[in-house]
Amino acid sequence: MHMLISHWQVDVQIDQLIFERLGSCSAVQAAGSEEQPEIKPMPGSGFTVVFDPLDGSSIMGANFAVGTIFGIWPGGSPVGLAGRQQAAAAYAVYGPQTILVWAKPKAAVDAPGEAFSEANGSADAEQQPGAKEAGGAPDGPSSACCSVGNIRDSHEVQEFLLLPDGTWRLQRSGVAILPVSSTYAAANLRAAAANAEYMALIQRWIQAAYTLRYTGGMVPDVHHILAKGSGVFCNPCSEAAPAKLRLLFECAPLAFVVEVSPTSPLQKPAQRAGITCA
C-alpha cells in the first residue's frame, strides 16, 4: 500500500538522520537544527554544525526542488559569533539531480565526504587553544574561521554532483557570481503592498525586463543564482508580512556561500559584522 508522508514527517526524518551522521564525525563538537534549536553536545571536537534539515518543505508537495542548509562554526557554540566567523557553510539541493555546494577553506580537502578535521588541522582542540571553551571561537593562527580580512582570499566555493553509486563528483570549483543580473527571485511579495521601497524595486525590475525566477524555496532560488552565475534574491518584509527566515539556520550559511563567491555583489562585509547569533 502506498502511504503519503507529510512534509513534517520528512523534515523530522531528515533531522534525525543528519544528527546521527554528525554524531559519528570526530570533528563535530556540538550540533543544533531548526527542528531542535538547542545546541547539543556531540562526541567529537572542533566545530558546531547547525542546519535546516528541509528548506522548502511547503513546496515539496508540488514536487519542487528542496534542500538542506548547513552552517559550520568553530568551537562549541555559534552564540556571540557573526556570520562571517563561520568556518564553512554548505547547502544541498534535491531535485532532478542531488547537488552539494559548499564554501570551504582553500586548504581543506576537496571532497565533501572528508571530515573537516583535515582542514589545516583546525578541528583538533589541542591545536586550537580555546576551541573547547564555552561558545568560544578557536584563537589559534591555523583556525579555519575568518573573522577578519577577506574571506574570498581564504575560502572557495565548490559544487558536487551525487552519482548513482553514492560517490560525489566535483563539477565546478571557484564558483562565481557576476555583479550584473537580469533575473530576480522576489520572496515574501505580499510585503510589497505596504512596503513602498519593495514595491518600487519590483517595478524597477519589471521595467528593466528582468526575468522572474522564483520557486518559494530559498535553497533552489539561491542555487539558481550560483548555477547561472548571476541573479538577485530578496526577502523584504512589512509589519503585516514579516520575514520568516532565520539568521542561524538559513541566512548566515547561505550568505556565507554567496559572499565567498568571487565577484559577489556583497561588497561591504563590515556593515554586517554586528549581526551575531544570540
Q: Domains plus CATH for the chain? A: 7-173 (3.30.540.10), 183-272 (3.40.190.80)
* Contact assessment for residue 113 and residue 97, using Cβ atoms and an 8 Å cutoff: no
* Contact assessment for residue 171 and residue 160, using Cβ atoms and an 8 Å cutoff: yes
Residue among 37, 98, 35, 26 at smallest CA distance from 67: 98
| Range with lowest mean pLDDT among 5-19, 39-53, 131-145 | 131-145
Rounded CA-CA distance 278/275 in Å is: 9
Residue 24: what pLDDT? Answer: 97
- Residue 251 DSSP class: I
State the average pLDDT over residues 234-241.
Answer: 94
Dihedral of CA 195/197/200/201: which sign? negative
Query: Looking at the predicted structure, is the pLDDT value of residue 198 above 70?
Result: yes
Residue 4: what pLDDT? Answer: 58
Residue 134: what pLDDT? Answer: 34
Residue 149: what pLDDT? Answer: 43
What is the rounded average pLDDT for all residues in the chain?
A: 83
Query: Looking at the predicted structure, is the pLDDT value of residue 103 above 50?
Result: yes
C-alpha cell at 175: 564558483
Rounded CA-CA distance 136/271 in Å is: 23
- Residue 137 DSSP class: P
Most confidently modeled range among 7-16, 121-130, 145-154, 183-192 = 183-192
Query: Looking at the predicted structure, is the pLDDT value of residue 123 above 80?
Result: no
User: 257: exposed, middle or buried (C-beta count within 10 Å: 0-12, 13-18, 19+)?
Assistant: buried
Percent of the chain with pLDDT over 70: 78
User: 158: exposed, middle or buried (C-beta count within 10 Å: 0-12, 13-18, 19+)?
Assistant: buried
The 10s digit of each residue's pLDDT in 19-68 is: 999 999 999 999 999 999 999 999 999 999 999 999 998 898 899 999 99
What residues contact 32, with CB distance under 8 A and at least 6 apart? 38, 39, 40, 48, 50, 51
Query: Looking at the predicted structure, is the pLDDT value of residue 266 above 80?
Result: no
CA angle 163, 168, 173 (to 5 degrees): 125
Confidence of residue 6 (pLDDT cuts 50, 70, 90): confident
Residue 243: what pLDDT? Answer: 84
Query: Looking at the predicted structure, is the pLDDT value of residue 242 above 70?
Result: yes
Query: Looking at the predicted structure, is the pLDDT value of residue 77 above 70?
Result: yes
Residue 56: what pLDDT? Answer: 92
State the average pLDDT over residues 119-139.
Answer: 36
